[in-house]
């Protein structure tokens, strides 16, 4: 017999999935905004911190730079350490700038069924991929969620589903993002070596199918909920 704590966790898991299915099957909003509507995007910290690769590069690049210069100029390793420490800020700024260029402010037009990011416009039906970036702040007991989606070759969009203090999207923005997903053609990527997609969770970390994306948008999981994707 499972103990009380295990039973409680399992019951919470079941209730969460039931809520997600219920929300996903809800009808579309009766009225949608006309013309171009800007989507809420992730704040600078949520955008940066919820991307695991940023943290990896921020740690590796300055150290490699300091070590390389120390060896090339035959200087003390302590000078290499100081160089690495000084390189953290410029590396951070470069990574942040690259991310902002890759994911500019996005807008949607439901009248024409189009998504616009920067100067690029694409029909909603051509949105074929979506990725969920997650970062669990264990000490604060919060989960940061950033949803990214787009068409093949661009444009891309980035939306914060849950911020660092647990805040979620406004209801109006949630309706817009959910409707974008409904009108998209999002699928989980596959490879010739895994045509059934059995190992897609590992081959394409963070990628979700359209129904799963819609569920996450309508009910962003908290740190106490099951994780819909792998956390790096």
E-strand spans in 56-205? Answer: 106-109, 114-117, 120-123, 127-137, 142-151, 156-162
Report the pLDDT value the prediction gives residue 31, as an integer from 0 to 100: 74
- Which mean pLDDT values do the consecutive 10-residue runs of the chain (232 residues) have? 48 46 46 87 58 74 86 84 88 80 86 92 96 88 91 88 87 93 93 79 87 95 86 54
Supply the angle between the helices 171-182 and 210-218 in degrees, to the nearest 10: 170
Closest CA to 53 of 104, 91, 106: 91
* Distance (Å, whole) CA 192 – CA 197: 10
Q: What's the pLDDT score for residue 1? A: 43
The pLDDT of residue 42: 56
**Left if phi > 0, otherwise alpha if psi is -120 to 50, otherwise beta: which for 74?**
left
Cβ count within 10 A of residue 191: 11
pTM score = 0.69
Q: Which tokens in the block code for residue 46?
A: 């949520």
60 backbone dihedrals φ, ψ, rounded to 5°: -85, -45
Check if the beta carbon of residue 167 is closer than 8 Å to that of residue 142: no
Question: Tokens 């579309």 label which residue?
Answer: 28
pLDDT in tens, 138-189: 888 999 898 999 999 878 898 989 987 888 988 989 999 999 999 999 999 8
Q: What is the pLDDT of residue 184?
A: 96
Beta bridge partners of 132: 147
Beta-carbon contacts of residue 63 (< 8 Å; ≥ 6 apart): 84
Q: Is 51 exposed, middle or buried (0-12, 13-18, 19+ CB in 10 A)?
A: buried
């Amino acid at each position: 017999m499972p103990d009380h704590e295990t039973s409680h966790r399992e019951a919470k898991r079941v209730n969460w999935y039931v809520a997600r299915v219920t929300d996903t099957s809800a009808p579309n909003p009766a009225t949608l905004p006309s013309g171009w509507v800007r989507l809420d995007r992730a704040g600078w910290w949520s955008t940066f911190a919820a991307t695991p690769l940023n943290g990896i590069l921020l740690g590796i690049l300055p150290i490699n730079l300091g070590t390389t210069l120390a060896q090339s100029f035959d200087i003390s390793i302590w000078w290499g350490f100081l160089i690495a420490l000084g390189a953290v800020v410029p590396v951070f700024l470069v990574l942040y700038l690259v991310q902002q260029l890759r994911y500019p402010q996005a807008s949607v037009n439901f009248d024409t069924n189009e998504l616009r990011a920067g100067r690029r416009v694409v029909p909603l039906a051509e949105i074929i991929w979506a990725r969920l970036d997650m970062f669990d702040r264990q000490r604060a007991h919060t989960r940061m969620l950033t949803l990214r989606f787009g068409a093949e070759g661009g444009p891309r969009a980035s939306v914060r589903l849950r911020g660092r203090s647990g805040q979620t999207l406004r209801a109006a923005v949630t309706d817009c993002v959910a409707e974008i997903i409904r009108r998209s053609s999002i699928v989980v990527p596959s490879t010739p070596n895994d045509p059934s997609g059995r190992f897609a969770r590992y081959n394409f970390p963070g990628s979700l199918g359209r129904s799963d994306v819609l569920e996450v948008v309508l009910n962003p999981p908290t740190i106490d909920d099951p994780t819909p994707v792998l956390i790096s």
